[in-house]
Structure 1
Amino acid sequence: MTWLPITSALCVASVAGLVALSVPVATYRLKSQITLGKGDDPVLTARIRAHGNYIEYVPIGLIAIGLAELEGAPTALVLASAIALALGRLIHAIGMLTGAKIPPRAIGITLTWLALVGAGAGVLTAMIRS
């Protein structure tokens, strides 16, 4: 069996991040009695979007980083992509949940895009080599 230590560590961190973003949505829904949708509640909207944005980027990031690691992309590239994805999603979520207008969210999405491009380049390079 092939061991992917970087992807495995990122997966554990990603699961923790997903739970950390899911629980506040569920608890706020119970408290506010908004069981479906978001109503007109800006707090619930922010929590839903922070969670949703995480879900929109993390799965493809994990797949790309995992494939890059599996295909033998340089360890530094795989590690940098994993760190950028984890930090990018964390910073972006903080920006969403604190109501920050742009800086944390812009930094977060930029790191996320860099992670995706880096991992994608690693996979593409491996494809070309083989």
Structure 2
Amino acid sequence: MALLVTALYGSVLGLLFASLSLFVGLSRAGSGVHHGASKNGKEDTLFASRIRAQQNFAEYVPIALILLALLEFNGATSSTLHGLGIALVLFRVFHATKLWFPNEAPILLRMIGFLGTIAWIGFASTVNLLKAIAA
């Protein structure tokens, strides 16, 4: 069974992660900070927030994609999978936007991104758990 919907959203999220990683890498090269987020003992808070956006993405997205793949493998409808995929992409973009542009983006974006991602993981986990118990 091909997991085409998961492949679609995994690819979109992979491109987003690559862009986050590239920007952090270029920021490191430009600032001369090769480890952490400080230079000469002084932390760069903007740079630190960009690093956290990348790390946060790396922490939450893999489990979400595993859960999406399990839903797809176990027969969730295409519209359900696409709805979940779109929601996950939006939540991750909202979260990263506030961390990347802390002075311009409203804090509400970060909150929606974080709480939405946690709710998404909780929902997908519950649906998968119920499917497993019912089998």
Per the TM superposition, whether the score is higher than 0.5 is yes
Once the 2 structures are TM-superposed, how far is the Cα of residue 101 of structure 1 from its aligned partner? 5.6
Whether the 8 Å contact between 1:73 and 1:123 is mirrored in structure 2 is no
Q: Could you tell me whether the CA contact under 8 Å between 1:94 and 1:104 is conserved in 2?
A: yes
Q: TM-score, normalised by structure 1?
A: 0.91
Which one is further off, 42-51 or 92-101?
92-101
Select which of 55, 58, 66 maps to 1:55: 58
2:80 is aligned to: 77
Alpha-carbon distance in 2 for matches of 1:109, 1:80: 18
CA distance in 2 between partners of 1:122 and 1:72 (Å): 12
Identity %: 32
- How far off its partner does 1:124 sit? 1.4
| Aligned length, in residue pairs | 129
1:1-130 superposed matches below 5 A: 2-39=1-38, 40-99=43-102, 100=105, 102-130=107-135
Mind listing any 5+ residue stretches in structure 2 that lack a counterpart? none
Amino acid at match of 2:53: A
Gaps of 5+ in 1: none
Q: Distance in 1 between matches of 2:84 and 2:48?
A: 29
**How many Å separate the matches in 2 of 1:46 and 1:128?**
40
Moved over 6 A (4+): none
1:47 to partner: Cα distance: 1.0
Relative to the length of structure 2, the TM-score reads 0.88
- Give per-residue Cα distances to partners, 1:45-65, cap 9 Å, x unaligned: 011001011111100000011
